Amino acid sequence: MSEKTIKANRKWHTIFFVFLIAVMTFASITITDFNIFHGIATLPKAIAWIFSNMWISQETWERLPTILEKLLETVLVSIAATTTGTVVAFFLSLMGSKTTGRSTIWGAFARFVASVSRNIPVVAWALILLLSFGQNSMTGYLALFVGSVGFLTRAFIESIDEASQSAVEALRATGATYFQIVFKAVVPQCLPQLISWILFMIETNIRSATLVGILTGTGIGYTFDLYYKTLNYNAVALVTFSIILAVIVIELMSNYIRKVII
């Protein structure tokens, strides 16, 4: 192919690509009934509204202890879901990884479990579990747990595959048993990566926990929903700011840990 045809091809690709995006955008606007001008027009209005209504007033501060208690509950649920999810995900990823997996059937099983639990949205899990677990922290915890297992398994498999090939071979040559290989070669090598993924999962889970909380009536999400529905926007602002603060603090902490260990 001469340079000219490549260039012409690329031009056609670009035109096709832009056209495709334009068509899809138009289709999306039609199907969702999204009025782009109205959307743009509401944006300043929305921001003006946020600035004029979302102030934390004096009497809202009295609600702070309740809000903080719920926030703590949400943070703890996220952490618990992540750590317990890690344990399950670790074993699944040992099965699913190419270097440590022993049978293809179990490997495929692990990948399948991970894929299904990850791709069903956390919201769907929350709604499914809500039916029999009722409104309590357990429902939120389990919904986050299932999602964490799915995500962490995928991430762990990648980390294990990447890190441990030569060390595993070396240990296998000495006649080490399977669990000796896992705990002396695989774990020490991947640990920084694994911890980094765990921290990332905690951050993600805190955000999803708010969403799950709205649906399952637990934690900070429920508090938000309650004030939101009773039009107590000052309290809504306080809840939002406390969530922002918690997320930023956890993000900074995990960034620090990640910087040191990797």
Partner 1 sequence: MEASTYIKRGASGRIAIKMGSRPERIMKWTVTTLVILTVIAFLLFDYTGLDLTTAIPETLDNLKTMFLEPALSHFTWGQAFYQLGVTLGLAFLSTILGGIIAFFLALLAAANLSKSWISKTVRIMVAFIRAVPTVLWVLIFAIAAGLGSEAAILGMLFHSIAYLVKAFSEAFEEVNQGIIEALRATGANWWHIVIHAVLPSTFTYLLSWTFLRFEINFSMAVAMGAAAGAGGIGFELFMASGFYFDLREVGMITYMVLIFAIILEVFSTKMKDRYFPAAK
Q: Which of residues 51-90 bind partner 1 (CB under 8 A)?
A: 54, 73, 76-77, 79-80, 82-84
Least CB distance to partner 1 at residue 170 (A)? 18
Q: Which residue lies nearer to partner 1 by CB, 132 or 174? A: 132
Of 15, 39, 68, 183, which one interacts with partner 1 (CB under 8 A)?
39
Binding of residue 130 to partner 1 (CB under 8 A): yes
Q: Which two tokens stand for residue 242?
A: 């406390």
Least CB distance to partner 1 at residue 175 (A)? 26
Of 106, 109, 133, 200, which one interacts with partner 1 (CB under 8 A)?
133
Least CB distance to partner 1 at residue 144 (A)? 11
Binding of residue 28 to partner 1 (CB under 8 A): yes
Q: Confirm if 234 and 64 have CB atoms less than 8 A apart.
A: no
Number of residues that bind partner 1 (CB under 8 A): 77
Least CB distance to partner 1 at residue 24 (A)? 6
* Interface segment toward partner 1; rule CB under 8 A; list 2-10, 21-29, 90-98, 173-181: 21-29
Q: Which two tokens stand for residue 38?
A: 């109205």
Binding of residue 115 to partner 1 (CB under 8 A): yes
Binding of residue 167 to partner 1 (CB under 8 A): no
Subset of 85-114 contacting partner 1 (CB under 8 A): none
What is the spatial distance between Cα 144 and Cα 201, in angstroms, rounded to a whole number? 10
Q: Which residue lies nearer to partner 1 by CB, 120 or 176? A: 120
Phi, psi at 207, each rounded to 5°: -65, -45
